[in-house]
A and B are shown apart, each in its own frame.
Chain A
Amino acid sequence: MAAPAVKAVRRWSGLTLGLRSVVLRLPGVTQVRWSRYGPEYRDPQVDKEYYRKPLAELTEEEKYDRELRKTQHIKAAPAMKTSSVFEDPLISKFTNMMMKGGNKVLARSLMTQEVWGSLFHCIPLQTLEALKRKQFEKYHAAPAEEQATIERNPYTIFHQALKNCEPVIGLVPILKGGHFYQVPVPLADRRRRFLAMKWMITECREKKHRRVLMPEKLSHELLQAFQNQGPVIKRKHDMHKMAEANRALAHYRWW
C-alpha cells in the first residue's frame, strides 16, 4: 500500500441533511473514498437471532440498544447481504474480488451457487463443489486410519487455505533521498486477507492452460494451499524473504 501521500484538495459542496460534512483531518488532505452516509448512521442488524430473543432475556444494554435503534438512522443493507444461515462474509468478499465487469452472476456461479437451468450436462461449475468431490474421492480411496484426517468441508478448507496464504509482513515503497526503497512493514489484518485473496485469484487467472476452467484450477490451488504447498504459498514465502533481506531499511518507517 502506498504511504499516505498528500492528495489534491477536493471541494465538496451540496450539504443536505444526513450526508457527510467535510471533515478535514490534515490540512490539504481529503478522504478519497467516502460513503454517502454520515457518522450518525448505524449498520443494519441482519442477524435473525438478535430479533428472536424474547424481551425478558435482554440485558440492560441490549434493551437500551434496541430503544436507540428505533430512533437512529440506519444504513440500507447491501443487496448481497442476506440473513441466511449459510452465508459466509469471506466467501462473499472473495466472489466480489473474482467478479469482472460487474458480472456477479458469473462470479457467484463459479464460486458457490449452482447454475440451474443452463447446460444439461456440465461438470461441477463451482469451486466449493469441486473441492468437496475431490476430497470425497480421496476419502473413499484412503484406508480407515487416514479417513479421519481428511477434511471434507469445503468451507474449512477455504478458510484454512486463505489463512495459510496470508503474509505476516509486507513491503512498502518509501521515498527517501530521491529513491524508492522497499521497506518491510507490519500489515493490518484486512490488508493481509486482501493480499491472500488477490494472490490466489491472480495465480488462478494467469498461470494455467487456456482450456482449464476457473473452478477446477481454484479448487486445485486451494487444496495445495491447505497443505501449505503450491505457488501461492511460495509467493508468500518470497515476500517474507524479501522483507528479511531488506531488514536494514526498517528504520525508514516512521509509523
Chain B
Amino acid sequence: TMLKGMTRLISRVHKLDPGRLLHTGTQAPQNLAAHLDDQVSSERRRAISRTSENDPVKTFNEACLMVRKPALELLHHLKNTNFAHPAVRYVLYGEKGTGKTLSLCHIIHFCAKQDWLVLHIPDAHLWVKNCRDLMQSTYNKQRFDQPLEASIWLKNFKTANERFLSQIKTQEKYVWNKRESTEQGSPLGEVVEQGMTRVRSATDAVGIVLKELKRQSSLGTFRLLVAVDGVNALWGKTTLKREDKSPIAPEELALIYNLRKVVRNDWNGGAIVLTLSQTGSLFKPRKAWLPQELLGKEGFDALDPFIPILVSNYNPKEFESCLQYYLENSWLQHEKAHTEEGKRELLFLSNSNPGQLERLCACL
C-alpha cells in the first residue's frame, strides 16, 4: 500500500497471510478477526461508532479504508523514525466522528504489513467502566485486577501477533502461585497461555507482557507499535467502586497502571500512536475534543512531548469519493441519492462529517 496523493483516495486493502489477522473492533468479542482463510485484513468502514455488529465484511464482502491526509502524515513520520531515539508519541485528535479510530487502524495495518509487533488496545474506556468482577490484585495489595478484560485482550493479542510469541523470550522468572511458575528464557507464548487458562492471573500476565515487550524492544530484534484508542481513559476518573462504595482512581487498576508505564517514552525501538475519544469517556463534556480538555492536566503532563495530528472533516474531494464508493457498492439505494440535489443535501446534513454521513447513508 504505497500511499501517494491520488485523485481517488481510496485504496483496496491487500490480503495478509492468515496468521497476521488484526483485531481492530472496538468491541473485542464482536471484532473482525474472523478466522477465515481468505479474509481480507479486518479494516472497518469509515464509521467508527457502530461497526462492531455491523460488519462491513458481511455487508460488502470486503473491507475498505479511505486514505486520508492525517494517516499519510503519520506514515511518513513512521517511515522516517530513528529507532535509536526514544519512542515518539503521536496523538490523533479531532471532533467526534472525523475518523481518528480508523486512521489508527490504517497505521496498525501498515505496521503489521511491515512486520512490527502491534500492541493494540481497541478501547481503553472499556477498562475503566462496567467491570463486573473486580478483584484485589495478588501481586500488589493496593491495586485491582480485571480478569475478564485482561483475558479478552490476551486472546486478541495472541491472534494478532502469533509469530512473535515464540520468538520473544522472558528475561526473568515469574512465579504465579505455589504450583506454577514460568522459567527465565521461556517464550512469551507461555505467559499468554497461562493468563488465558488461569483467568485470575490474567491481569498479571498482561502486565508481564507489557513489561517484557518494552524492555526488549530496545534490543532491536523487532519493532514495537503501541496503539491505544481512547487514551484519555488512562487519566480520567473511573466509574468503578470498591465494596464500600468509595471510588477507585485509575492508578489503582493494574491494567491502567501498566499501560501508563508503556505509554511513557523511556524506551526506544518503536513508536506510540494514541487516539483521544470523547464518545466513551467518563465525566467529560460532550463538546470537548481538544487534547488539553480531554486529557486533563495530569494526562497532558504525562504525555507531554507529543506530536498532535488533527483529523478533520472530509474535504470536497474526499466527500465525493466516499459517496462514489457507496454508490459503487449500491449502499445508497434511494433513487434520489444519485442526483446532484441528493448529494448537496447529504453534504449539508452531514457537514462533511464522516461519521454523520455514514449514519445518514445507512437509512437511505
Contact = CB atoms under 8 A, between A and B. Distances in A.
A240 B50 CA distance: 44
B334 A155 contact: yes
A154 B280 contact: no
B60 to A, nearest CB: 8
A155 B337 CA distance: 13
Interface-central residue, B59, B331, B333, B356, by most chain A CB under 10 Å: B333
A116 B363 contact: no
B58 A137 contact: yes
A86 B335 CA distance: 9
Counting chain A residues whose Cβ lies within 8 A of the other chain, the interface size class is 20 to 34
Q: Is the interface of A mostly helix, strand, loop or mixed?
A: loop
Contacts of A221: none
B363 A128 contact: yes
A84 B334 CA distance: 13
Interface residues of B, number: 33
A120 B362 contact: no
A85 interface: yes
A121 interface: yes
Contacts of B49: 120-122
Interface string A210-241: 00000000000000000000000000000000
Contacts, number: 73
B363 A126 contact: yes
Interface in A108-131: 112-114, 116-117, 120-124, 126, 128-129
A121 B27 contact: yes
A57 to B, nearest CB: 18
A10 interface: no
B52 to A, nearest CB: 5
B156 interface: no
- Mostly helix, strand, loop or mixed at chain B's interface? loop
Q: With a 10 A CB-CB cut-off, give which of B26, B50, B356 has the most chain A CB atoms.
A: B50
Contact of B339 (A85, A117, A128, A152): A85
A116 B355 contact: yes
B31 to A, nearest CB: 11
Given A132-B333, A133-B59, A124 B355 contact: no
Nearest to A112: B363
B286 interface: yes
Interface in A42-84: 84
A3 B217 CA distance: 85
A194 B341 CA distance: 32
A137 B59 contact: yes
Contact of A121 (B50, B58, B59, B96): B50
Interface in B39-54: 49-50, 52-54
Contact of B356 (A84, A116, A122, A129): A116
By CB atoms of chain B within 10 A, which of A85, A123, A137 has the most?
A: A85
Contacts of B26: 120-121
Interface in B323-364: 330-331, 333-334, 336-337, 339, 341-342, 345, 355-356, 359-360, 362-364
Interface of A: 84-86, 112-114, 116-117, 120-124, 126, 128-129, 132-133, 136-137, 140, 152-155
Interface of B: 26-27, 49-50, 52-54, 58-61, 96-97, 279-280, 286, 330-331, 333-334, 336-337, 339, 341-342, 345, 355-356, 359-360, 362-364
